[in-house]
């Protein structure tokens, strides 16, 4: 915007505007390069892939398939052509009138970027809240599983002790049963 305002200034000559135009071309190239190179998981996030195209990603954040358990992120193209509403990335500052027109386009681009940032901020807050909620669910599930395992362990220990006592009692009964015939034999001798 600063360069457009500078170019719209009546004290600049055409040569000055050409120099400003060169600087704008460099900035434009860098904006497009960032939009083209920014990617996640091999998906280009900011290039727009055509006029008005929008990238949409949906994340499943719950155990059920309802829409309430999904978060969708929509990203519009952020290349110069889509930001400034111009064809073929044409951003001209060659005349004072063109520079004044560009100021309005820059204002529109600033609003678009601010809206995109606000939308992404809202999605980020929702994702952070969801992460905290899921962390809490994992902790509760782990605690429940631990209680179940400890309950099963106590039950198994009780069953082991009972079986052990029954085995010892059976051995004692067998020992006594074996002693009775020997006692009778002793009496008979």
Q: Which residues of the chain have pLDDT under 50?
A: 50-52
Q: What is the pLDDT of residue 2?
A: 80
SS3 category, 88? helix
How is domain 2-141 classified at the CATH fold level? Answer: f41 fragment of flagellin, N-terminal domain (1.20.1330)
The model's pLDDT over 163-179, given as tens digits with 9 standing for 90+, comes to: 999 999 988 888 888 77
Structure letter (DSSP) for residue 13: -
Question: How much is the pTM?
Answer: 0.58
Q: What is the pLDDT of residue 74?
A: 78
Please list the residues that pair with 161 across neighbouring strands. Answer: none
User: How many residues comprise the chain?
Assistant: 189
The model's pLDDT over 139-149, given as tens digits with 9 standing for 90+, comes to: 999 999 888 87
Q: What is the pLDDT of residue 86?
A: 64
Residue extents of the structural domains in the chain: 2-141
């Amino acid at each position: 915007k600063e360069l457009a305002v500078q170019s719209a200034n009546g004290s600049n000559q055409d040569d000055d505007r050409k120099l400003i135009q060169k600087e704008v071309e460099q900035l434009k190239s860098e904006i497009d390069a960032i939009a083209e190179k920014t990617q996640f998981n091999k998906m280009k996030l900011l290039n727009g892939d055509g006029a008005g195209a929008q990238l949409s990603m949906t994340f499943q954040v719950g155990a059920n398939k309802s829409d309430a358990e999904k978060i969708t992120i929509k990203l519009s193209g952020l290349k110069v052509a889509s930001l400034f509403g111009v064809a073929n990335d044409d951003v001209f500052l060659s005349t004072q009138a063109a520079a004044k027109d560009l100021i309005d386009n820059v204002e529109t681009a600033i609003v678009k970027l601010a809206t995109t940032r606000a939308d992404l901020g809202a999605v980020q807050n929702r994702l952070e809240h969801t992460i905290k909620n899921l962390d809490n669910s994992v902790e509760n599930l782990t605690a429940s599983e631990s209680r179940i395992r400890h309950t099963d362990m106590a039950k198994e220990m009780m069953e082991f002790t009972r079986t052990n006592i029954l085995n010892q009692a059976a051995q004692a009964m067998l020992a006594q049963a074996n002693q009775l015939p020997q006692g009778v034999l002793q009496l008979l001798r």
